[in-house]
């Protein structure tokens, strides 16, 4: 078992335009990337559960040539609108760090 | 440069990922020695939120923009290549474009430069948008706020995000410098490849990496220059600073950045598809990319960006350290809110839906809000931000002042007598934030052609 944060070279979140948030989970080592990908722990379902929204609102990708996993979701509040907590969307990835990868 | 020789190539220089964010002069000079055919620069972003568009103010300081512009303009004129700057002044509205135009005129005066300049305007006429809306030719993207004629009227300004075509037309008029309003991030880099008949997929993919400057290097130190060489079936790209390098993975990864889909990038005239792109190292700093494809769109579309006033804000920052308050924080704040709402109604007559009181709790869910999975409060202190949004600044501050008084003395059952439960670091305790804006459109227009929304104005400098 290892935490996703210990295996990834970078986990980040960012706006993809003012209306969507996107998460990038990146790896340096193809074997580690494959391990995480095959584990099935990081999935559309996982993103849906962690961020509490329906699976059909989650875009989810494995990007093999970049050794990266990517997910995008609609923002709960549009960027900069009253009540938004994170104008750049940069600090929304923290719950992904502690996912347990076999 | 012949269209039919096998070795033909175009070298495109991007001095920095955002005009005003800086670059090393040494990198820029090294790039000029490689004789680029064109210099492009993306000056825009929505990264800072709706304020730049709503308030008409660029995100980067004027002096920082002038520093970058002076070096770039002098470089472009020295080697006599076109300089294309898109999304001037961050948001690319008319006021933003004119701010950059004025800086360019200043530099030209100070440096004794003269050249033929094109201004390409991107702020949209409200009647034009209403006409297109009535024709059913404005369509929502996902997710999108409601968009109707009232939204158009309420907007401080709405800009269209131009494609590469207006740049091409301006270059065909023989201009040497283009300052454009809001533009697709890739448009200024694609203009010359388009004119010379290079593959749209190859050019667009290179442009997508160029527009962010050194964002696609392995370990970015500061914003800096990137140079792409476009050939018929591939492009090569890399940094100029000898301390930086690009790898196949760093370039492939860049397709992920600030883009919801890592393989598809939508532009006015079609979509870049990098699913079959192949990345290989040319050497330890340069990467070669092949196989990027372009899927032409059935309908030409222009994306809109608009911002409207959301109100005026006043905020109050305070800390809570008392463990008895912290263990009932949510409940305490719920009771405080009810008390504030009662007091505001009593003094101003305003109902809770006529203003907004947002209480942020740092230490609990101040960063993630509704997305925060940790529900219970842990920790020995919390930071509270009481944020009031109202129709005028005076009203917002009136409500904030009452909020302060109600909140700091609000009781808990554990203590009898008057408490002061919030530590305020400032006097006055509240801070006026001024006008606040919201993005109010995520739609595309179907224009008759690529030019009708973007008038070109030629100016002799």
Q: Where are the domains of chain A?
A: 2-77+88-97
| Chain A contact probe: residue of B371, B436, B441, B442 with most A CBs at under 10 A | B371
Q: How much is the pLDDT for B5?
A: 47
- What are the residues whose beta carbons fall under 8 Å from the beta carbon of B63, sequence distance 6 or more? none
Mark yes or no for CB contact B439/A80 under 8 Å. yes
pLDDT band with cut points at 50, 70 and 90 for residue B7: low
Quick check: B345 pLDDT over 70?
yes
Q: How much is the pLDDT for B215?
A: 87
CATH code reported for the domain at A2-77+88-97: 3.30.980
- What are the residues whose beta carbons fall under 8 Å from the beta carbon of B65, sequence distance 6 or more? B19, B20, B43, B58, B100, B103
How are beta strands B382-390 and B430-439 bridged, if at all?
unpaired
Q: What angle (nearest 5°) sits at the alpha carbon of residue B39, between those of residues B29 and B185?
A: 130
**What whole-number distance in Å separates Cα of residue B374 and Cα of residue B364?**
8
The single-letter DSSP state of residue B158 is E
- Which residues on chain A are in Cβ contact (under 8 Å) with B249? 28, 65-67
- Which residues on chain A are in Cβ contact (under 8 Å) with B370? 52, 76-77
Q: How much is the pLDDT for A65?
A: 86
pLDDT tens per residue across span B359-376: 999 999 999 999 999 988
Quick check: B1 pLDDT over 90?
no
Is A63 an 8 Å CB contact of chain B? Answer: yes
Residue of B nearest to A26 (CA): B253
CA of A81, closest CA in chain B: separation in Å? 5
Mark yes or no for CB contact B253/A86 under 8 Å. no
CA of B225, closest CA in chain A: separation in Å? 22
**What whole-number distance in Å separates Cα of residue B181 and Cα of residue B298?**
25
**What whole-number distance in Å separates Cα of residue B209 and Cα of residue B329?**
47
Q: Flag whether the pTM goes above 0.90.
A: yes
Least trusted range by pLDDT, from B193-207, B211-225, B319-333, B415-429: B211-225
Sign of CA dihedral B203, A12, B48, B222: negative
pLDDT band with cut points at 50, 70 and 90 for residue B189: very high
pLDDT tens per residue across span B40-99: 999 998 988 999 999 999 999 999 999 999 999 999 999 999 999 999 999 999 999 999
Is A85 an 8 Å CB contact of chain B? Answer: yes
Q: Which residue matches tokens 């001037």?
A: B88
Q: What is the mean pLDDT of residues B281-297?
A: 95
Residue of B nearest to A84 (CA): B369
Q: How much is the pLDDT for B3?
A: 45
Q: How much is the pLDDT for A5?
A: 97
Residue of B nearest to A95 (CA): B373
Distance spanning both ends of chain B, measured CA to CA: 29
Q: Buried (b) or exposed (e) across B345-367, using 16+ Cβ within 10 A? A: eeeeebeeeebbbbbbbbbbbbb
Residue of B nearest to A92 (CA): B368
Taking CA atoms, B430 is separated from A56, B334, B409, in Å, by 42, 20, 16
* Domain at B309-439: CATH architecture: 2-Layer Sandwich (3.30)
Quick check: B395 pLDDT over 80?
yes
Which of B46, B47, B252 is nearest residue A66 as measured by Cβ atoms?
A: B252
Strands (E), B297-414: 302-320, 356-362, 382-390
Mark yes or no for CB contact B252/A20 under 8 Å. no
Cα torsion for B318, B324, B329, B334, to the nearest 10°?
Answer: -100
Taking CA atoms, B80 is separated from B76, B330, B402, in Å, by 6, 64, 63
Is A50 an 8 Å CB contact of chain B? Answer: yes
Residue of B nearest to A81 (CA): B438
Q: Calculate the average pLDDT of chain B.
A: 95
- What are the residues whose beta carbons fall under 8 Å from the beta carbon of B143, sequence distance 6 or more? A19, A20, A74, A75, B442
Percent of chain B with pLDDT over 90: 91
Q: How much is the pLDDT for B14?
A: 97
CA of B388, closest CA in chain A: separation in Å? 10
Which tokens sit at B353? 């839906």
- Which residues on chain B are in Cβ contact (under 8 Å) with A95? 373
- What are the residues whose beta carbons fall under 8 Å from the beta carbon of B161, sequence distance 6 or more? B92, B122, B182, B183, B184, B268, B302, B303, B304, B305
Q: How much is the pLDDT for B18?
A: 93
Mark yes or no for CB contact B442/A95 under 8 Å. no
Residue of B nearest to A86 (CA): B367
Q: How much is the pLDDT for B359?
A: 97
- Cβ contact B203:B230 at 8 Å: yes
Which of B47, B253, B438 is nearest residue A88 as measured by Cβ atoms?
A: B47
**What whole-number distance in Å separates Cα of residue B449 and Cα of residue B165?**
10
Calculate helix-pair angle for B94-111, B62-78, nearest 10 degrees.
60
pLDDT tens per residue across span B100-140: 999 999 999 999 999 999 999 999 999 999 999 999 999 99
pLDDT tens per residue across span A28-39: 999 999 999 999
Q: How much is the pLDDT for B2?
A: 44
Calculate helix-pair angle for B187-195, B165-172, nearest 10 degrees.
60
| Chain B contact probe: residue of A11, A17, A49, A57 with most B CBs at under 10 A | A17
**What whole-number distance in Å separates Cα of residue B194 and Cα of residue B200?**
7
Q: Range(s) for CATH 3.30.70 in chain B?
A: 309-439
Using DSSP's 3-state secondary structure scheme, residue B245 falls into coil
């Amino acid at each position: 078992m290892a935490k996703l944060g210990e295996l990834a070279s970078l986990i980040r979140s960012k706006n993809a335009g003012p209306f969507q948030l996107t998460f990038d989970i990146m790896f340096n080592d193809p074997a580690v990337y494959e391990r995480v990908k095959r584990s099935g722990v990081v999935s559309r379902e996982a993103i849906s559960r962690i961020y509490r929204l329906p699976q059909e609102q989650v875009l989810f990708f494995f990007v093999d040539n970049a050794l990266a996993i990517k997910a995008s979701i609609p923002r709960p509040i549009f960027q900069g609108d009253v009540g938004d907590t994170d104008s750049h969307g940069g600090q929304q990835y923290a719950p992904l760090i502690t996912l347990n990868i076999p | 440069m012949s269209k039919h020789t096998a070795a033909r190539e175009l070298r495109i220089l991007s001095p920095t990922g955002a005009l005003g964010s800086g670059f090393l002069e040494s990198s820029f000079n090294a790039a000029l020695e490689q004789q680029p055919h064109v210099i492009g620069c993306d000056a825009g972003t929505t990264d800072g939120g709706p304020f730049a568009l709503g308030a008409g103010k660029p995100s980067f300081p004027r002096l920082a923009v002038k520093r970058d512009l002076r070096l770039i303009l002098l470089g472009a004129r020295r080697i006599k290549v076109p300089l294309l700057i898109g999304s001037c002044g961050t948001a690319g509205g008319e006021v933003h474009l004119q701010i950059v135009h004025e800086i360019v005129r200043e530099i030209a005066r100070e440096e004794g430069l003269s050249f033929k300049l094109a201004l390409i305007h991107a702020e949209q006429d409200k009647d034009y948008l209403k006409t297109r809306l009535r024709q059913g030719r404005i369509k929502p993207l996902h997710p999108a706020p409601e968009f109707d004629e009232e939204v158009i009227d309420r907007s401080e300004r709405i800009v269209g995000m131009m494609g590469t075509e207006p740049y091409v037309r301006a270059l065909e008029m023989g201009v040497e410098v283009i300052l454009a309003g809001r533009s697709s991030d890739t448009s200024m880099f694609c203009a010359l490849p388009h004119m010379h008949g290079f593959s749209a997929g190859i050019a667009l993919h290179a442009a997508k990496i160029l527009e962010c400057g050194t964002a696609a290097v392995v370990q970015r130190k500061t914003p800096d220059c990137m140079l792409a060489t476009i050939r018929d079936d591939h492009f090569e790209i890399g940094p100029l600073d000898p301390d930086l390098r690009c790898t196949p993975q760093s370039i492939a990864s860049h397709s992920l950045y600030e883009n919801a889909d890592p393989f598809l990038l939508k532009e006015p005239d079609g979509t870049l598809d990098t699913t079959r792109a192949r990345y290989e190292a040319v050497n330890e700093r340069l990467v070669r990319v092949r196989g990027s494809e372009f899927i032409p769109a059935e309908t030409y579309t222009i994306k809109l960006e608009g911002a409207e006033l959301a109100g005026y804000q006043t905020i109050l920052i305070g800390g809570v350290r008392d463990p008895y308050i912290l263990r009932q924080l949510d409940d305490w704040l719920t009771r405080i809110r009810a008390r504030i709402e009662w007091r505001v109604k009593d003094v101003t007559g305003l109902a809770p839906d006529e203003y907004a009181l947002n209480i942020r709790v740092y230490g609990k869910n101040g960063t993630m809000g509704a997305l925060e999975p940790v529900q219970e409060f842990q920790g020995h202190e919390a930071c509270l931000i009481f944020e009031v949004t109202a129709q005028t600044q005076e009203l917002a501050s009136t409500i904030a002042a009452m909020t302060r008084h109600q909140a700091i003395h609000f009781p808990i059952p554990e203590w009898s007598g008057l408490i002061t439960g919030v530590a305020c670091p400032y006097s006055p305790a509240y801070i006026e934030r001024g006008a606040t804006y919201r993005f109010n459109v995520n739609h595309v227009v179907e224009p008759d052609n690529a030019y009708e929304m973007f008038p070109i104005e030629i100016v002799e400098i």
